[in-house]
Amino acid sequence: MNGNHKTRSCAELHVIPVLSDNYCYVCHFDESALVVDPAAAAPVIQLLEEHALKLELMLITHGHADHTGGCRELERKYGVSAAAVSDGMRIAFAGSEVLVMHTPGHTADHSCFFLSPAVGAPLLFGGDVLFGGGCGRVNGGAYEAMWSSLLRLRALPPETRVCFGHEYTLDNLEFALSVEPENQLVRTRLEHETARLADSGVTAPSILREELLTNPFLRADDPVLQAAVGMNGAAPLEVFTFLRRRKNTWG
Ligand SMILES: [Zn+2]
């Protein structure tokens, strides 16, 4: 090997289950690590130590306690505080860049983070906006903002790995199937995710391509879904709002 020709390794991703159903993520290139939504510090510290990683960046999607609980302890231990972010900002990380996308809807200040490494598939840290098979609760009636946020995420490269904030995938897909009982793609994904969850304990990350096909909240403008809910030709925002409200009281 030529020592002058060092190629950076792929971004390696660790999914850390925290609290009852939250996910925190550690992503690293070689020893340089970033953490997203550390709800608890201890499992993050343990992972960083086990893999001899250096924490360089802390990202928070939104201010809910189940995403921020471990921040202060990590800050004290590593001297890295949560990055102050705004839409369109590019944060340098380990020779790569994290794009900040302001994605209001779940909260007014919610951000998602998009990391496109030189090698391997891009990563989206979707917090409580985009879930496996679903989307986050809309607070304060911000349906239009949420739909616009989902449209922005939908436009990312289809091979993007979606790192979501909660393990709700099976419940979401069961809801999706209740909306479209005839949708074989949803049915197949539900089977596949059920097996995956039993096998590994997590369904994260998902692939955006799969979300585009099976996540009803990304398909409010899809004539097939519109027909299934009897809203042919309706404005996508109306269909999205109908679906999200229905999910609130479902199950
Ligand atoms: Zn939240």
Domain positions in the chain are: 12-248
Could you tell me the distance, in angstroms and rounded to a whole number, from the CA of residue 21 to the centre of ligand 1?
A: 12
pLDDT score, position 251: 79
Could you tell me the distance, in angstroms and rounded to a whole number, from the CA of residue 115 to the centre of ligand 1?
A: 21
Could you tell me the distance, in angstroms and rounded to a whole number, from the CA of residue 49 to the centre of ligand 1?
A: 28
Could you tell me the distance, in angstroms and rounded to a whole number, from the CA of residue 13 to the centre of ligand 1?
A: 22
Query: What's the mean pLDDT when you consider all of the chain?
Result: 95
Could you tell me the distance, in angstroms and rounded to a whole number, from the CA of residue 175 to the centre of ligand 1?
A: 20
- Is residue 2 predicted with pLDDT exceeding 70? no
- Is residue 8 predicted with pLDDT exceeding 60? no
CA gap 103, 10 in Å, rounded = 27
For residue 17, give the amino acid letter.
Answer: P
Could you tell me the distance, in angstroms and rounded to a whole number, from the CA of residue 131 to the centre of ligand 1?
A: 12
More confident residue, 251 or 89: 89
CATH class in words for 12-248: alpha beta
Q: What sign does the dihedral 69-75-80-85 (CA atoms) show?
A: positive
What global pTM score does this model have?
0.95
Could you tell me the distance, in angstroms and rounded to a whole number, from the CA of residue 64 to the centre of ligand 1?
A: 5
And the tokens for 213?
């096909």
- Is residue 27 predicted with pLDDT exceeding 80? yes
- Is residue 64 predicted with pLDDT exceeding 50? yes
CA gap 129, 107 in Å, rounded = 9
Residues 105-163: tens digit of each pLDDT: 999 999 999 999 888 899 999 999 999 999 999 999 999 999 999 999 999 999 999 99
Could you tell me the distance, in angstroms and rounded to a whole number, from the CA of residue 89 to the centre of ligand 1?
A: 22
Could you tell me the distance, in angstroms and rounded to a whole number, from the CA of residue 20 to the centre of ligand 1?
A: 14
Average the pLDDT over 55-62 and give the result.
98
Radius of gyration in angstroms for the set of CA atoms belonging to the chain, rounded to a whole number = 18
- Helix or strand run (H / E) with residue 194: helix 184-200
Could you tell me the distance, in angstroms and rounded to a whole number, from the CA of residue 71 to the centre of ligand 1?
A: 15
